[in-house]
Amino acid sequence: MATCAAALATLALPVEALQPRSSFRSRPLAAPRAAPCSRRRGVQVLAGGNGTSPAAPYKQLEAISVDLSAFPACNFFRVEALIRPWRLQKVTEQLNAAGIRGMTVSDVRGAGEQGGRKERYMGTEYGGDAKNFLVEKTRLDVVVARGQVDTVVRLIATSAHTGEIGDGKIFVHPVADVIRIRTGETGAAAERMEGGMQDMTGIKGI
Amino acid sequence: MLLATASPSAAAQAAPRQLPSSRTAAVQQPLIGGVRRAQRRAAARLAVVAAAAPPAAAEALQRFSAFDRVSVLSEALPYLQRFRGKTIVIKYGGAAMKDESLKARVVSDLVLLSCVGIQPVMVHGGGPEINTWLNKLGIEAQFKNGLRVTDAATMDVVEMVLGGRVNKSLVSLIQQAGGQAVGLCGKDSDIIRARQMVEKDIGFVGEVTSVDPSLLRTLVSDGYIPVVASVASNGKGQGLNVNADTAAGEIAASLRAEKLILMTDVPGVLRNKDDPSTKYTALTIRNCKELVDEGIIAGGMIPKVDCCIRSLSQGVSATHIIDGRQPHSLLMELLTDEGVGTMITG
């Protein structure tokens, strides 16, 4: 009932109890995830089930940095996120709060099956056979300047994360140029949104 | 005529006082029938009220004036509006299932929700009842890691007790309280399909593979309260015993329910498991994972929280772990700010 903020206020506990503890990082569970260790993860194949694969801790999502070194001269990038449809509102709220004011959303269907583990959608298992293979997802496209890519990716990843199989994927593509049709502006002027992230945070995109 | 002869005393009383001689039986019939029906209805209502309101609650109510009661009722308006037309899946079990007076109150809560335009769906298990009947039949109940070992004979009993006894007794309670209940098990119209968890080697215990909500949708949109027993079909005629929490979670996901409410025997998620005052009112998935890592959420709470996260990730807006032992815990959770349990959201 209570909204999260109100609920936090009414908690009988200190709020810091909810904050991730510093000991969290030193937990043995976190270590093997940071190091590439695909063999061990491969063993964890189970038929169906819930959260059988270790989900990324939020700390890790918040520290994601995107490798753009293959495109040293490229000023703009398109962040393409494929997420669960009902997480869209949460994601767009977060992006809007951070000053990302331009985005495109489309309904898509897709599959992303790993090692026979099944995704659940509407109470039903998906993946494995041809009958229930494609799952409904939402695609969110955001074109931003180079310096804002990390922020946007982190925001999307943390707000779309549930820890269950089927949370989605994010792709980052290079974009050659941006044109605003109404004014005919191109490049940085067309990409920049008045009152957007650059104005709010001072992070110059380029 | 038939009616008049069936109850001569009532006819004799009514006829001479009102009508001296020449009234036809056709006029008297509905009158007598009406009196009887009213008596029957009054008796039924009395029985339900007596069961639903133990002395303590009645005393508490007496302290309020009529105006108090009406103003409290009108304060519930925003909540009623918010949940109107929304589906709420309630997993019913634990202590609330054993205690008759709690049972009656859960049922009256359910009927109230349904009356104000909320669409409740009830899912139930019934472990203790199954044990009783296994005992009577001389079959020994066995558990492995908290899950019932279900051989063919036990499965028969599970299906009979859940689908027959527990399910129908809930249905008749709801009917008595003035609701319209339809008792189903997961096999009906293949609502729940499951696959045998062969890897766990505990017999006919199933993992939900798919849920077909079309029958539930039809019932709910026509104002019926579906009561679903957690027995699933495997598509080949074999019944499977499915954990009722999981079944409720998946049914909630399939209906894209507004809420999933798990009625348990604990006050909610507690920071210190012996101190109910350290209850979390609201948590997010993220909080839950951190609490699991810290070891605060442990033991039997883990599968409950997992079940909540699993249905949250499939689009259920909020899940609640509430104390089924408290009277009217359902209404408290839905219609007040504090609630009686822990709400987990995405």
Do A86 and B286 count as a contact with CB atoms less than 8 A apart?
no
Which of left, alpha, beta for B32 (phi over 0: left; psi -120 to 50: alpha)? alpha
Residue, of B15 and B66, whose pLDDT is higher: B66
Report field, pTM of the whole predicted structure over 0.80: no
Whether residue A29 is contained in a domain is answered as no
Catalytic: which of B245, B249, B259, B341?
Answer: B245
What is the least distance, in Å, from the CA of A192 to any CA of chain B?
A: 32
> Active site includes B127?
yes
**Total of domains in chain A:** 1
Whether residue A31 is contained in a domain is answered as no
Top-level class of domain B130-254: alpha beta
Give CA separation, A34 vs A30, A64, B39, in Å.
Answer: 7, 12, 74
Q: What is the average pLDDT across A113-131?
A: 81
Whether residue A76 is contained in a domain is answered as yes
Inform me whether the pLDDT recorded for B344 exceeds 70. yes
What is the reported pLDDT for B243?
Answer: 92
Whether residue A23 is contained in a domain is answered as no
Residue B43, helix vs strand vs coil = helix
pLDDT-derived band at A130, boundaries 50, 70, 90: low
Closest-approach residue (CA) in chain A for B272 = A13
Run of H or E residues at A77: strand A76-83
Among B75, B313, B340, most A C-beta atoms within 10 A, so best to mutate, is B313
Distance CA A161, CA A149 (A): 18
> Active site includes B289?
no
pLDDT-derived band at B35, boundaries 50, 70, 90: very low
Distance CA B317, CA B258 (A): 5
Q: What is the average pLDDT across A103-113?
A: 92
**Mean pLDDT, chain A, integer:** 76
Closest partner residue to B199 (CB to CB) among A2, A47, A51 is A47
Angle, helices B25-52 vs B8-18, to 10°: value is 120
Q: What is the average pLDDT across B147-153?
A: 87
List, as one string, the DSSP characters of A138-158.
Answer: EEEEEEEEGGGHHHHHHHHHH
pLDDT-derived band at B52, boundaries 50, 70, 90: very low
pLDDT-derived band at B135, boundaries 50, 70, 90: very high
What is the reported pLDDT for B58?
Answer: 64
Phi first, then psi: what are they for A6, rounded to 5°?
Answer: -65, -40
What is the reported pLDDT for B145?
Answer: 75
CA B36 to chain centroid, in Å, comes to 32
Give CA separation, B39 vs B11, B47, B51, B201, B261, in Å.
Answer: 16, 12, 18, 56, 37
What proportion of chain B, given as a percentage, has pLDDT over 90? Answer: 54
Whether residue A3 is contained in a domain is answered as no
Range of the domain at A152: 59-112+133-204
Residue, of A53 and B16, whose pLDDT is higher: A53
How many Cβ pairs closer than 8 A exist between chain A and B? 119
Inform me whether the pLDDT recorded for B21 exceeds 50. no
Residue A169: CATH number of its domain: 3.30.70.120
> Residue A205's closest CA among A142, A117, A126, A158?
A142
With contact defined as beta carbons under 8 Å apart, do B70 and B130 qualify? no
Distance CA A125, CA A123 (A): 7
Inform me whether the pLDDT recorded for B323 exceeds 60. yes
Inform me whether the pLDDT recorded for A29 exceeds 70. no
- Take residue B210 and report the two structure tokens written for it: 């798919």
> Active site includes B68?
no
Inform me whether the pLDDT recorded for A8 exceeds 70. no
Q: Which residues from B are below 8 Å from A167, CB to CB? A: 313
Q: Which residues from B are below 8 Å from A10, CB to CB? A: 281, 338
Q: Where are the domains of chain B?
A: 130-254
Whether residue A197 is contained in a domain is answered as yes
> Active site includes B103?
no
For B178-225, the pLDDT digits (tens) are 999 999 999 999 999 999 988 778 899 999 999 999 999 999 999 999
What is the reported pLDDT for B55?
Answer: 52
For B257-299, the pLDDT digits (tens) are 999 999 998 899 999 888 888 999 999 999 999 899 888 998 8
Burial class (CB in 10 A: 0-12, 13-18, 19+), B3: middle
Strands B206-211 and B192-196: antiparallel
**What count of other Cβ atoms lies within 10 Å of the Cβ of residue B105?**
24
What is the reported pLDDT for A45?
Answer: 34
B187 CB near a chain A CB, below 8 Å? no
> Active site includes B188?
no
Which of left, alpha, beta for B90 (phi over 0: left; psi -120 to 50: alpha)? beta
DSSP conformational letter for B33: H
DSSP conformational letter for B243: -
Phi first, then psi: what are they for A109, rounded to 5°?
Answer: -130, 150
Distance CA A154, CA A97 (A): 14
